[in-house]
Chain A
Amino acid sequence: MKKASPMPPPLELPGRLPLLRISLGLTQKSLWLVPRFLIESQSIGHRESYRRFDLALVQAIQLRQTLRAPLVNAICGGLAAFYGWMMSRMQDPVAWFLAASFLAFWLTLLALNLAGGPTCRVELQTALGPHELPTLHRLRTARHALSAIIRRIEQVQGEREPDFPATLPPTAPADP
């Protein structure tokens, strides 16, 4: 008698909320792949709530590159430059130390943001409408997680559409 293949265990996908959203809302979200669903779990304190997306009903996934990363880089870089300039003008050692601390803070944020890479927004389209997946806000993480999600959706639904819609004029693909 053929033995039934065991159900794959839930798989936690990479990605977490942006640091600012975690610290402001004291909340955390994560994405999980289970056999029939993509689950978005949101935890506040010691409680967790789940939102399920049936993989058989996912119509489309859209990934759009956003300008958040260069914007944050510009803000952090600008503030770091300002505190660097302040530091060069300070005579009082206490004030110099304060300016150096702020410079180090903004430089750390800048380094973290540069290390994170470009940002994006991922939306899952179902019959109910689009739903943003906020944990996938970095392009590198999103690509990694989406490859697993798309593979699982294709297992459930079959191969995705090769080219859609054919009636629209083609656009020049631009790889940013």
Chain B
Amino acid sequence: MPAPHCSRCDGPLRSEGGGKWTRCQRCGAATQLWVFPAFHAPRHCETRVGPGEGACFSHPAKRAAGACGECDRLVCSLCRIDLGAGCLCPACANRAGSVGNPGPLQNEAVIPDRLALILGLWPLLLFFTLQTVWPVYLLTAGGTFYVVIRFWAAPGGAFLPRPPTRLIFAALFACLQLGVAAACAWSTFRR
């Protein structure tokens, strides 16, 4: 029977139950261990395809365990990505997780509140470089206000909820940028 292993020395560990402190028997590291029923679940056993049976699109020697809900390709149990109601093949799952395609498999996203904060803060930090080209502040402040207003309802993107704290700070920085632009313009046209 397999046993969990120590993350430091790879020695076998014993769970005292309930996540109590125990020591690794090999290296003596103080460890808490929680073992769940999935640890004893039988491993998937790939079956060779027989005559008259459907074969996996990516593994022709393996028996199909389902069809992709997007492209209808047959997939084996290794390729099958379960989504509760249906399943997907790895290629469709990869497409489903790309930016701009929100859903349960999304694996990348642009975070609007961080974008607004970068647009609002960085031009101010670069003041000594940008003061000679002060109209840039009008562009970045306008961009910041656009992102703040456009994404006010979902500042952390559509996937994970976040409070609008960063958007508020970004709007304040954008106001500051407008003030800096006004001051630079006044000093330029006064000469």
Chain A positions near chain B (C-beta within 8 angstroms) = 9-10, 12, 32, 36, 39, 41, 43, 45-52, 56-65, 121, 123, 125, 127, 130, 132, 146, 150, 153-154, 157-165, 167-176
Stretch from B23-31, B64-72, B127-135 contacting the other chain: B23-31
Q: Is the contact region of chain B dominated by helix, strand, or loop, or is it mixed?
A: loop
Residues of B within 8 A of A (CB): 1, 3-4, 6-8, 12-23, 25, 29-40, 43, 84, 99, 106-112, 114-115, 118, 157, 159-161
How many A-B residue pairs lie within 8 Å, measured between CB atoms? 151
- B22 x A160 contact (CB < 8 A): no
| Contact present for B38 and A58 (CB under 8 Å) | yes
CA distance A18 to B37 in the complex (A): 32
Q: What is the minimal beta-carbon distance from A60 to any residue of chain B, in angstroms? A: 5
Instruction: Give min CB distance, B57 to chain A, whole Å.
Output: 22
Q: Report A-chain residues with C-beta under 8 Å of the C-beta of B13.
A: 62
Question: Which of B14, B39, B108, B118 lies in contact with A45, CB distance below 8 A?
Answer: B118
Contact A59 B16 (CB under 8 A): no
Asked whether, in the complex, the Cβ of A59 is within 8 Å of the Cβ of B108, the reply is no
Other 13 A-B pairs with CB < 8 A, given A64-B8, A162-B17: A36-B84, A49-B107, A59-B35, A61-B36, A62-B34, A64-B30, A125-B39, A157-B37, A167-B1, A169-B25, A173-B16, A175-B21, A176-B30
- Residues of B within 8 Å of A159, CB to CB, are 37
Query: In the bound complex, do residue B37 and residue A161 qualify as a contact, i.e. CB atoms below 8 Å apart?
Result: yes
Q: List the B residue with the shortest CB-CB distance to A30.
A: B160
CB–CB A61/B30 < 8 A? no
Give chain A nearest CB distance to B40 CB in angstroms: 8
